[in-house]
Structures are given as structure tokens and as C-alpha cells.
């Protein structure tokens, strides 16, 4: 901010700020719901069960369904894409049936795992059987397939220019995509509300920065209120 502007801003001292904060009543039940929402969406089943027991907050969803979702994620991150896909098909056949992009990414991940295992023959075989027909229908898939098959050309695929495909992050990416799809099919939010609230907090502070000096939260991890530095 410019020096000239500082004077025009309202200065809110710490005590006034805290007084104002004290007038805002947030029911405990709402806070609990927020926490439960986080645990459920992120898939912390055990923690959610414990929290339900202790706080009496209903999870709002079938916790067994979360277990399924977490198992899908675990299988995928462990490299067993096939098991993950079978699981998803058991959960809801519509997911992979209606989302060609997701389906392609899963098949691509299977191919990557085969290449990772060094099984060139079956990798090629798989690509021909399962990926080529998809790529024929969609140009975008064809490019991705070319990139993936190209991994076979390298002695050490991990250090190749296409090494990112071999990375754990690729598994994570696919797993997240699948997790979001499952959540959506169960008519649940794709991400927990808590991070959204934090984003909202940051946005609100940014808005306020232009108009006032006030006790600010600079570190969201500690949520410490930092008193405004004296103007002038």
C-alpha cells in the first residue's frame, strides 16, 4: 500500500476486534459437523467413527461406503489398478460407464504399471487390446496413449523425458480423479468444507486489507491474531 493511503484506513485495535469476535456465536454442533465433514470426505473412517462416538455427530453418510472408497484408493496407490476398477464397478457401474476420460486414465495407469513391472509383452498386448480402441475414438486419448507407449522405448523409463508418468504423483492424480468420481456418484461433495472456509478467510482478509488495519491471521496453522502495526 502507498504511504498516503495509510492515513485513510480505519484502524481497529486488538481489544475492539476481540470484542467484535466475541459477539459472533458459532454453535458447537456446527463446528462438529464441519469436522465430521472433513473426516468423511477425506476418508478417515476410524477417526470418523471415534468422533461420532465422542461428539454424537452423525456422519451423514454410510461409513461402510467410505471404507469402499478408501480401499479403491489404497489399491490404486498400491499399483493394483485392476482391483480398484473392479471395486468401482461393484460400487456403481455408472461411474466408469459414463466417464470416458476417467476410464481412459485408469487403463493408462494399468499400462504404466505393466511397464513399471518391465513386462513389455503384456504391456503391448494390453495397450492393443484395451487402449487402442479408446484412442481410435478420441484424438486427445491418442496423444496420451502415444506418450505412454513411448515409455517402452527407454531403457530406464523413470529417468526418461516421460518419467512423470512413472511417478507416484501420477498414481495420486489418477486416484484423486477416481475418488472425486465416486464421491460425485454418491451425491457427496468432492472436497471437504474446511479448506473452503480457509480460502474464504484469506479472501476476506484480502478484501479487508484494502480498507482497514486490523488484527490479522497471518499463519492459518496457528490462527494467531497479529495486532496491526502502528500507522505513521
Partner 1 sequence: MTNSPDIGRVATSLMVARPRELLRELREGTDRVKALKAIKNQVIGSKFKKNAFVSEGAVEAVLEVLRDATSSANPSEDKMEVVQQQAAIVIGSLSLSDVGLRRLISNEGLPFLLTMLHSADEAVVEAALWAVKMVVQQSTCVPSYFTRPPAREAGSPLPESPAAAAAAATPGPTVAAAGPLSVTPVRLDATAMSAIVRCLAVAGSSAAHTGSGSGMLAAVPRSGRTAAIVALAAALVACCCRRTEERNLAIAAGAPEKMLRLLLGSDRADTQVAALEGLSLMLPYQPSACALALSCPEIYGRLFTLLRDPTPSVRLLAASCAATLCRMPGCEQTEAMQRAALPVLLRLLTQPATRPHVPAVLASLVEASEALQKAAADADAVRLLAGLLAAEAVAAEAETTTARTTGQAVAAPDAAAVSSGVTPYLATCAAADGGVSSSLREGCLRALGSLCLNHDESRKQLLEAKVLRHIVKALEDPSNGVRAAAALCVRALTRCVRTLRGGLLEGGGGELAQLLVDMLTDQELEVQTNAAAAVCNLVLDFSAVKSAVLSAGGLTRLVELTRSPATPLRHHATWALANMLYRADNSVRVQLMEALPWSRLRQLLFDSDPRVVEQALVILRNLCMAGRQQVAAALEWAESDRSGGGGECGGSGGGFASVTGLCTTPAPAHGHGPPDQQPLPATGDKETRYDGILDVLQARIQAAAAAMSVTDVESESAASTPGVSHSPHSEGAASPPSASASAPALAAAAATTAGIFRVTRPEQYLQTVAHATHALYAVANLLTGGATVKDLVASRRPLLAAVAALLYPRAGELALPAVWCAVNLTWPAGGGSGGGGGGGVDRLNRLEQEAVATRCNALLDVRGEERLEELSRQHPSRDVQERARTALEQLRSGAGLAVRTSDTSSPAAVMTALTAQGL
Residue numbers of the site for partner 1 (CB under 8 A)? Answer: 60-62, 65, 82, 85-86, 89, 92-103, 125, 127-130, 132-138, 140, 142, 145-146, 184-187
From the number of C-beta atoms within 10 Å of its C-beta (0-12, 13-18, 19+), residue 110 rates as: buried
97 vs 209, beta carbon nearer partner 1:
97
Q: How many CA atoms lie within 13 A of 113 on its CB side?
A: 18
Please report how close the Cβ of residue 207 comes to partner 1 at its closest, in angstroms.
Answer: 21
Q: Which is nearer to partner 1, 18 or 140 (CB)?
A: 140
How far, in Å, are 80, 189, 223 from residue 10 at the CA level?
A: 58, 39, 22
Q: Which is nearer to partner 1, 126 or 214 (CB)?
A: 126
Q: Which is nearer to partner 1, 142 or 194 (CB)?
A: 142
Calpha distance 142→150 (Å, rounded):
12
Which lies closer to partner 1 via its Cβ, residue 128 or residue 224? 128
Region of 83 (left: φ > 0; alpha: ψ -120 to 50; beta: rest) is alpha
Tell the smallest beta-carbon distance from residue 139 to partner 1 (Å).
Answer: 9
Taking the least distance from each CB to partner 1, the nearer of 22 and 187 is: 187
Q: Which SS3 state, helix, strand or coil, does residue 51 take?
A: helix
For residue 129, the minimal CB distance to partner 1 (Å) is 5
Q: Which is nearer to partner 1, 95 or 213 (CB)?
A: 95
Grid coordinates belonging to 16: 475492539
Q: How do strand 10-11 and strand 225-226 relate by DSSP bridges?
A: unpaired
Angle, helices 28-42 vs 45-55, to 10°: value is: 160
CB 29 within 8 A of CB 57: yes
Smallest gap from residue 18 Cβ to partner 1 (A): 34
CB of 167 to partner 1, least distance (A): 24
Quickly tell me which residue has 509383452 as its cell.
Answer: 121
The neighbour count for residue 128, using CB atoms within 10 Å, is 11
**What is the enclosing helix (H) or strand (E) of 226?**
strand 225-226
Amino acid at each position: 500500500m502507498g504511504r498516503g493511503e495509510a492515513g485513510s484506513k480505519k484502524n481497529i485495535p486488538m481489544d475492539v476486534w476481540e470484542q467484535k469476535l466475541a459477539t459472533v456465536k458459532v454453535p458447537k454442533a456446527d463446528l462438529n459437523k464441519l469436522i465430521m465433514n472433513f473426516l468423511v470426505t477425506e476418508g478417515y473412517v476410524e477417526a470418523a467413527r471415534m468422533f461420532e462416538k465422542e461428539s454424537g455427530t452423525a456422519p451423514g453418510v454410510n461409513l461402510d461406503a467410505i471404507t469402499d472408497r478408501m480401499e479403491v484408493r489404497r489399491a490404486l496407490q498400491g499399483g493394483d489398478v485392476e482391483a480398484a476398477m473392479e471395486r468401482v464397478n461393484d460400487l456403481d457401474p455408472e461411474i466408469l460407464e459414463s466417464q470416458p476420460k476417467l476410464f481412459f486414465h485408469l487403463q493408462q495407469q494399468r499400462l504404466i504399471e505393466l511397464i513399471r513391472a518391465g513386462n513389455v509383452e503384456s504391456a503391448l498386448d494390453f495397450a492393443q487390446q484395451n487402449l487402442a480402441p479408446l484412442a481410435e475414438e478420441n484424438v486427445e486419448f491418442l496423444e496420451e496413449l502415444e506418450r505412454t507407449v513411448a515409455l517402452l522405448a527407454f531403457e530406464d523409463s523413470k529417468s526418461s523425458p516421460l518419467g512423470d508418468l512413472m511417478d507416484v504423483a501420477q498414481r495420486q492424480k489418477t486416484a484423486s480423479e477416481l475418488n472425486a468420481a465416486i464421491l460425485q456418484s454418491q451425491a457427496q461433495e468432492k472436497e471437504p468444507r474446511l479448506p473452503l472456509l480457509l480460502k474464504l478467510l484469506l479472501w476476506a482478509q484480502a478484501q479487508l486489507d484494502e480498507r482497514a488495519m486490523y488484527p490479522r491471521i497471518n499463519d492459518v496453522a496457528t490462527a494467531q491474531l497479529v495486532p496491526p502495526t502502528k500507522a505513521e
